[in-house]
Structure 1
Amino acid sequence: MRILESRTMEVLGAALDISSARHEAISRNVANANTPGYKANDVDFSETLRQSMSLSGTSGSVGFKATRPGHFGSGSQAGQSLAVVMSRDPAGLSMRVDGSSVDIDLEMAKMAENVILYNTVSHILASKFGMLRYVISEGRR
């Protein structure tokens, strides 16, 4: 049994990657808040995670990009990466005169929510590695 290639580690790794991609999208929205005609983008976290989990046939293939065959185990192929589900302004509505659909307050709220999610997932992942470290170190005694 490969502990680091478990389904749990796969999901946690994918969640970190998707959260990171969402953070980038929100950051672009904030950076372009005053750009006339800019349409806000977002990453649909749950849909992207659902799709990546249904597409993942082998352990270790979700959330990482392999640079050569077998990079993350025997099942990965070069160039394999996470497919992010992007979404635009829900109704295409813009309440601003310049046509930009970025609401800075909404973007900052989404950023805060995403940071909480990222921190939670990374904490769970750290505790998993902590348990492994404990098991390994206790085995030496």
Structure 2
Amino acid sequence: MFDRLTQSLNFQAEALVLRAERQRMIASNIANADTPGYVARDMDFAAALRQATAGQGGSGGARTVATSHPGHIALSSSAPAPTTLLYARPAQTNLDSNTVDMDRERASFADNAVRYEATLRFINGSVRTLLSAITGQ
């Protein structure tokens, strides 16, 4: 029972971290909408989430990351997994070679914000339910 709860919360926590990273990426695209030659970036969220949660079977989801130098700090399991970034396909050609489509970016930003909020509410609800079960109220 406890492992299922932990796995569920770990999955939601990974999703929350990836949603925050995607939001940062979309905001960067929007900020560079007028930068000549800027190529918009995005991530395949489903693939990134599968990659981030791949090791979370029954072992608690601990991830180990190789460090290139003994003095480097190893990433903890709460750090986002490295993801493959994609280039956005331009909807129309621009003279300055900028691939940011503001309509697409705004829609992606709003969609991702709603999904981030939903994930956060799910985590809060799960924690609230667990706390209620522990205190017996």
TM-score after normalising by structure 2: 0.79
SS at match of 1:6: helix
Indicate the residue corresponding to 1:78 in structure 2: 74
Per-residue deviation, 1:93: 6.4
Task: Give unmatched runs, 5+ long, in structure 2.
Answer: 66-72
**In structure 1, what is the Cα distance between the partners aligned to 2:105 and 2:87?**
13
Q: Mapping of 1:17-28 within 5 angstroms?
A: 17-28=17-28
**Structure 1 counterpart of 2:110, which letter?**
A
Deviations 1:79-130 (A, max 9, x none): 243222311123x665211110001111000001101110111111000000
AA partner of residue 60 (structure 2) = S
Distance 1:22 1:34 in 2: 20
TM-score, length of structure 1 as denominator length:
0.77
Which of 101, 122, 125 is matched with 1:124 structurally? 122
Q: RMSD of the alignment, in Å?
A: 2.5
Number of paired residues? 125
Q: Does 1:47 align with 2:47?
A: yes
Corresponding position of 1:108: 106
How much has 1:22 moved relative to structure 2? 0.2
AA aligned opposite 1:89: A
Give the percent of matched residue pairs that are identical in Structure 1 and Structure 2: 27
Equivalence for 2:36: 36
Q: Relative contact order: is structure 1 or structure 2 higher (C-alpha 8 Å, sep ≥ 6)?
A: 2
SS class of match (1:24): helix
Contact map agreement 2:7 2:56 (CA 8 A) in 1: no
SS of structure 2 residue aligned to 1:84? coil
- Residue in 2 that maps onto 1:59: 60
**1:40-97 deviations in Å (ceiling 9; x for gaps):** 00121100001112244532537xx9xxxxxxxxxxx93243222311123x665211
Alignment partner, residue 87 of structure 2: 88
Residue 55 of structure 2 contacts residue 62 of structure 2 at CA under 8 Å; is this kept in 1?
no
Greater mean deviation of Cα atoms: 51-60 or 8-17? 51-60
